[in-house]
Structure 1
Amino acid sequence: VVVDGDDIPDVAVPIGPGTTIRGRVEVEGASVNATPVGPLRLVTWRAAFGMLPGGTVEVDVPPDLTFTLAGIHGRQQLRVMELPDGWWVKSITIEGRDALAGYDFPRRGTLDNVVVLVSARPSGVTGRVEGTPDALRGAVVAAIPDDSTDSPEDIDVRTQLRPLHADGSFALRGLRPGRYMIAALAVGAMDARRDQTREEQGEFLRSVGTAIDVSEGRVETATLRLVDVPAP
């Protein structure tokens, strides 16, 4: 919406208390009682532009892994924060429907039997980036699904952006299984593309990234070159 001093007709602003959801987190591949699990947080996540989504509502998940979250409006994703290293969300169902990539929550009402299934089988990519200390300072490593035909929400769920460590090492943990294009981006490459659309950023990452297949329960290793290409 562009506001330039003129009235904007026919703008509908939905008003209501939002949806309340009740459910549980289930862990696959590990015993919760035998594995130290710190406080988890369930967050609603509205997809934004590029790689900068924003959370809107959150709640702490108690030790029994049940939760109640109120005041959810519109189309949102559910995400679990503070998972143990390497754990990842495998599926989310709301009343038996797949809701991993997002769900249209009504303006009011209650949804029970929300199940968030978490895998404790580490999946991801670790490795190093080649470059001088000055060039590596402030760099990041990005992983984006190789299939550009996926919906924007599916791509958001699977995309990761992580800072590069000072020694050039990186860790992309908790990646969902699939093929990814992974690239190490210098500060200049990131800054030059902040105003690009999500699709343009994705095209760039796929053009400079390294293809890596991620399988459940496996952590791949890779050596990447640092990309510092100015935007056209």
Structure 2
Amino acid sequence: MTEILPDETERFVRAMVTETDETLAEMEAHGEEIGFPTVGPEVGAFLRLAARMVDASRIFEFGSGFGYSAYWFAEALPEDGEIVLTEHDPDELERAREFLARGGYADRATFEDGDALETIARYDGPFDVVLVDCHKRGYPDALDAVAEKVADGGVIIADNAMESGIQDFETILEILEGGDPEGADEDTRGIAEYLLAVRDDEAFDTAAIPLGEGIAVSYRR
């Protein structure tokens, strides 16, 4: 977790997450061991809830790492559902395969090794849920590539809307409030441009939720 939420609020949100299974606990420990950031159980529980609320049967992830967020999503999918994981690191993708198999979800997962933008170009929609959690400078391109493939009543969820360790939140906020600061790095500007685009797109209703490192949730009308 970051400093987005006050300590007591963070404790409250965490206390509301149902107990995770052994595989998720292993995944969380693995992420801490190798220093790989995950969305965490608070955001994970929200992802699962969002998938259930839209009765998702198809999910696409821009960036999957070793499958932590996909595992939360997979719990909400029907047995004949599909989640497409994308990851440029084949070792991480293999770990994702192992973890999802351990949880009994590998049969509803498709594992795509390589660039997520190239992968989404090969897929037809609609997708009920899309998670954007790739390189921050690539968020606007991800939105362009997938917006028309989101089902009516589906959602796009962007992680790291506020923080990630490589972007500057104050600069993002300044841009969202109408400023044009000089010297914004590519990752910061990528997040800001994504948020502006999806906020102002009449096809979506978007809200920011201060969980984890901040998520932006966009509902396709």
- Is the pair's TM-score, using the shorter chain for normalization, greater than 0.5? no
TM-score by length of 1: 0.23
Which one has a larger percent strand, Structure 1 or Structure 2?
1
**Larger Rg over CA atoms:** 1
Normalised TM-score (structure 2): 0.24
Structure ranking higher in helix proportion: 2
